[in-house]
Amino acid sequence: MARDAVFDAWHSAWALGDVLATTRAPAAQWRERQAQRLVRLVEAAAEGSRWFRERLRGVRPGANTQALLAQLPVTHKRELMARFDDWVADPALKIDALRTFVNEPARRGEALLGRYQVWESSGSSGEPGLFVQDARALAVADALEAARGPVSLLGAALPWGAAPRIAYVAALGGHFAGVVAFERLRTLNPWFGASARTFSFLQPIDALAAQLDAYAPTVLASYPSTAWVLAQAQAEGRLAIAPQAVWTGGETLTPGLRRTIAEIFHVPVRDSYGASECLTIASECRCSRLHLNADWVILEPVDERGRALPEGQVGATTLLTNLANFVQPILRYDLGDRMRFVPGACECGSTLPVIEVQGRCDDVLSLHDRHGRAVHLAPLALTTVLEDDADVFDFRLCQRGAQALTLEVGTRDGTGAAQRERAGAALRRYLRAQGLGAVSLRLSARGAPRLGRSGKQCRVTREP
Residues at the site binding Zn ion, with contacts judged by CB under 5 A: 285, 287, 289, 346, 348, 350
The least distance separating Zn ion from the CB of residue 340, rounded to whole angstroms, comes to 16
d(CA 403, CA 31): 45
> For Zn ion, which is the closer residue by CB, 283 or 318?
283
> For Zn ion, which is the closer residue by CB, 77 or 340?
340
Closest CA to 365 of 441, 463, 432: 463
The least distance separating Zn ion from the CB of residue 344, rounded to whole angstroms, comes to 11
Beta carbons within 8 Å of 194's beta carbon, 6+ residues apart: 163
d(CA 92, CA 112): 10
> For Zn ion, which is the closer residue by CB, 154 or 285?
285
Q: Residue 279: phi, psi to the nearest 5?
A: -60, -45
The least distance separating Zn ion from the CB of residue 283, rounded to whole angstroms, comes to 10
> For Zn ion, which is the closer residue by CB, 348 or 451?
348
Helix (H, G, I), strand (E, B) or coil at 377: strand
d(CA 3, CA 33): 35
Q: Residue 280: phi, psi to the nearest 5?
A: -125, 95
The least distance separating Zn ion from the CB of residue 292, rounded to whole angstroms, comes to 11
> For Zn ion, which is the closer residue by CB, 170 or 285?
285
Residue type, 41: L
Q: 35's torsion region: left (phi>0), alpha (psi -120 to 50) or beta?
A: alpha
> For Zn ion, which is the closer residue by CB, 165 or 291?
291
Distances (CA, A) of 378 to 69, 217, 357, 362: 27, 35, 11, 9
The least distance separating Zn ion from the CB of residue 150, rounded to whole angstroms, comes to 13
d(CA 171, CA 399): 28
The least distance separating Zn ion from the CB of residue 331, rounded to whole angstroms, comes to 28
> For Zn ion, which is the closer residue by CB, 133 or 350?
350
The least distance separating Zn ion from the CB of residue 287, rounded to whole angstroms, comes to 4
End-to-end Cα separation, the chain, in angstroms: 47
Distances (CA, A) of 304 to 277, 296, 309, 315, 316: 21, 26, 11, 8, 5
